[in-house]
A and B are shown apart, each in its own frame.
Chain A
C-alpha cells in the first residue's frame, strides 16, 4: 500500500490502538520551557516522576530578557518572570532533565535550538507545550504542540493518547521569484485556506517551490502550519536536511549516521500515496506578503490594497475584518504601501534563523533605520555565528538594536512590548489583537520586508530596495 510520510511516522510510533481510532503513541523527544510549570506542578502534586528524563530537553526562551543578559536572570523585568525562569531550572534539577538555561551557550528559542542541536531529526515524534512545535516538521518529523495536561502525560509516561489526524498535502509548484521567501509562501497559503483551513489535519508541504527552499525556509513554512489550524506541518527530508544535520551535537555519528540516513531516505511519501485533501498553489505568481488585519489569514501581496470587508465572501470573515480594521485603524482601499510603520521586530521561531538575519542585513547594509527596531537572534549560538559573519555590525550601524536570544516581542511575555496604538512590522507568526502588547498593531512579513520597513518607516516592497544591489 502506498503511504504518506505521516502514515509512515505514525505507524512506526503506535504502541497500541483502542477502538475509535485512538492510538497510544511513543514520543521520541519532548521539549519544555518556562511556561511548562503547570505540568511540572501537577506531576509533583500527583507524586509522579518523569519517566524518561533523557527524552525531554528544557530551554528558557519565553520569559528571558533580551537586554542586559550579562546580568543573567536578574535582568528579567519583574519578579514573576524571574520566578518562571528559576522554576524551570528547579523542575529540571529535580527531574534530572537537561536544561539550557539563560546563561547557557545552547540557549535559544526552543524551535530554533531543536534543529540546531540535532535533537530534531527525520521520522521522530516531537512534542512541546507550545503550538509552534509544528516547526520541527521541516526536518521530516511529526511534531505538534500540546497543552499542560498532555505535557504532564508525556512527562509521566513518554507516550500520548492521540486520535489519528487526517492528511492534507499543500503543493506549491513552480519557482519563487527573487525576494519571495518561505514566509511569503506560508502567508499566501494561510490567506487561501484560512486559519481553520487545516483543522484536524497534518499538512505535508510539497512541490518544487517547497523543495527549492533551504532548511531554514522550510522551518518557517512548517512553523506557521498551526496558523492554518494544522495539527502539524511537515516537509520531506532530503540531502539538504541530511547536510544540515550532519555533525550537529545530538545527530547520530559514524556508522549510526549511515544507518540513520538509510532509514530517513524511506520516509518521503510514496509517489501514489493518497491524502485526505489536496490544495495547490502556483509559487511562481507569489509576491512578498503581509498581514493587514488581526488574523494571519488577513494577508495580501504587498501590491494590494486594504479590502472592503463587504467584499469578503463569508459572513464570519466580514465581521472579523470590520473589527480588525477598527483595531488596526485602517481604511478600505488604502494601498498597503501607504501604511506607516512605527516599530520593527526581527526574530522569533518563525524567522530568527541565520538566513533571516542575512536577508535583513542585505537590505540594511549602507542604510539607516528611521524607526526603532531590534533583532533578537533565534539562539545564542546563532547570535555568535551572525557576529562572526559581521551581521551585527550592519544592524548596529543601521541603528537597529542587536539583542540577546529569546521569544521577545512575538509573545511579548518578557516585556518586549509594542506600545498601544503603534504599528509594528514583525517577522513573527501572530497578529492577534494585543499579541505584542495591549493595543499594539502587528503586520506580519518576511525579514527582508521588515528590514525594508525599518529604512522607510512604511510598508515597502523590498524588491524595489534590492534593485541594483
Chain B
C-alpha cells in the first residue's frame, strides 16, 4: 500500500449530504475489470458528471476548469453511505483523489478508503462548510493535509486539527498491509481456532 503522509492539492467542494456509493460509481460499471491501463476514473460520479449523451454537465464541480485536477474532496455528512462496493474508492483514487474531508462517512466506505491508502478526514460540520465556502470563493485553491500533525490547513492558513485512530494512522503512514499484520500472529490464531472449534465441533 502507498504510504500517506502529507498532501497539498487542489480541493473540490461537494455540497450534497448522503453521497451514496451508487452515486460515486453507478452499478453498471462494477463489472469492469480494473488495470493500470484502464482505471475507474471515467466512472467517478458518472451520472452527476455526464448527461445521457455522455457530455459533461457544466455545473458539476469536477467539470469546472479550476477543480479538474482536484486531489482532495470536501464533502457533507455521511459521505459514502450505502453499498460496500470498493469500486467507489478505486474511482476516487484513479481520478487522483487521495483524501476526502467530511463531517462523517459510511462505515464500510471509510474502511475501504483506509485499505487503499486514502485518508478519510473527519472534521465538524461547520468547519467542512467553511472549507467548502472558501473553495467556492477561490476556485482551484489548495488545502494542505498533514497526517503526522493531524491537521488540515485551509486557504487562509488556518490549521484545523482532526482525530484519527492511532492504529489507522500508523498503517497509513507506513503503508502497512493488514494481511502481513495478521500473519505475524499465526501461532496465536492457530491456538485460538483449536480451542474455539473444540467447543463448537459443528463449525470446524
Q: Which chain A residues have a beta carbon within 8 Å of chain B's beta carbons?
A: 12, 15-16, 18-22, 24, 26, 28, 35, 38, 46, 48, 63, 80-81, 83-84, 124, 129-131, 145-150, 152-153, 156-159, 161, 163, 165, 195-196, 199-200, 226-227, 229, 231, 252-253, 256, 260, 263, 295, 316-317, 319-320, 323, 411-413, 430, 432-435, 438
- Determine the chain B residues whose CB is within 8 A of the CB of A195 once the complex forms: 18, 78, 81
| 25 sampled A-B residue pairs with Cβ under 8 A | A19-B166, A19-B167, A20-B167, A22-B167, A28-B203, A35-B30, A63-B31, A131-B82, A147-B86, A149-B116, A149-B178, A150-B112, A159-B182, A165-B107, A195-B78, A195-B81, A196-B18, A196-B77, A196-B78, A199-B78, A199-B107, A229-B106, A252-B202, A263-B199, A295-B20
- Contact in complex: B22, A316 (CB < 8 Å): no
Q: Chain B's nearest CB lies how many Å from the CB of A434? A: 6
Which of B4-12, B55-63, B131-139, B189-197 contacts the other chain? B189-197
- Determine the chain A residues whose CB is within 8 A of the CB of B18 once the complex forms: 195-196, 295, 316, 320
- Contact in complex: B202, A260 (CB < 8 Å): yes
Interface assignment of B201: CB less than 8 Å from any CB of chain A:
yes
- Contact in complex: B179, A256 (CB < 8 Å): no
| Residues of B in contact with A, size category | 35 or more
A160 to B185, CA, bound (A): 12
A196 to B23, CA, bound (A): 17
Tell which of A22, A158, A229, A252 touches B107, judged by Cβ atoms closer than 8 Å: A229
- Contact in complex: B111, A150 (CB < 8 Å): yes
- Contact in complex: B16, A430 (CB < 8 Å): no
Task: Using CB atoms, name the residue of chain A closest to B190.
Answer: A15
- Contact in complex: B47, A81 (CB < 8 Å): no
- Determine the chain B residues whose CB is within 8 A of the CB of A260 once the complex forms: 200, 202
A340 to B49, CA, bound (A): 30
- Determine the chain A residues whose CB is within 8 A of the CB of B105 once the complex forms: 199
Q: Which chain B residues have a beta carbon within 8 Å of chain A's beta carbons?
A: 15-18, 20, 22-23, 26-28, 30-32, 34, 47, 52, 76-78, 81-87, 89, 104-109, 111-112, 115-116, 165-167, 178-179, 181-183, 185, 188-189, 192-193, 196, 199-203
- With a 10 A CB-CB cut-off, give which of B47, B183, B203 has the most chain A CB atoms: B203
- Determine the chain B residues whose CB is within 8 A of the CB of A46 once the complex forms: 179
- Contact in complex: A157, B202 (CB < 8 Å): no
7 additional A-B pairs beyond A24-B182, A130-B83, beta carbons within 8 Å, are A157-B179, A157-B182, A295-B18, A320-B18, A432-B23, A434-B23, A435-B27
- Contact in complex: A199, B104 (CB < 8 Å): yes
A411 to B22, CA, bound (A): 10
Task: Using CB atoms, name the residue of chain B closest to A29.
Answer: B203
Q: Chain A's nearest CB lies how many Å from the CB of B119? A: 15
A86 to B18, CA, bound (A): 35
Tell which of A146, A199, A253, A256 touches B84, judged by Cβ atoms closer than 8 Å: A146
A81 to B17, CA, bound (A): 32
A195 to B77, CA, bound (A): 10
- Contact in complex: B82, A432 (CB < 8 Å): yes
Q: Chain B's nearest CB lies how many Å from the CB of A120? A: 12
A147 to B87, CA, bound (A): 9
- Determine the chain A residues whose CB is within 8 A of the CB of B185 once the complex forms: 15-16, 24
Tell which of B16, B20, B108, B189 touches A323, judged by Cβ atoms closer than 8 Å: B16
- With a 10 A CB-CB cut-off, give which of B17, B18, B165, B185 has the most chain A CB atoms: B18
- Determine the chain B residues whose CB is within 8 A of the CB of A81 once the complex forms: 31
- Determine the chain B residues whose CB is within 8 A of the CB of A21 once the complex forms: 165, 167
Task: Using CB atoms, name the residue of chain A closest to B76.
Answer: A316
A438 to B27, CA, bound (A): 10
- Determine the chain B residues whose CB is within 8 A of the CB of A320 once the complex forms: 16-18
- Determine the chain B residues whose CB is within 8 A of the CB of A432 once the complex forms: 20, 22-23, 82
Tell which of A22, A159, A199 touches B165, judged by Cβ atoms closer than 8 Å: A22
- Determine the chain B residues whose CB is within 8 A of the CB of A200 once the complex forms: 107
- Determine the chain B residues whose CB is within 8 A of the CB of A319 once the complex forms: 15-17
Task: Using CB atoms, name the residue of chain B closest to A317.
Answer: B17
A320 to B181, CA, bound (A): 41
Task: Using CB atoms, name the residue of chain B closest to A314.
Answer: B17
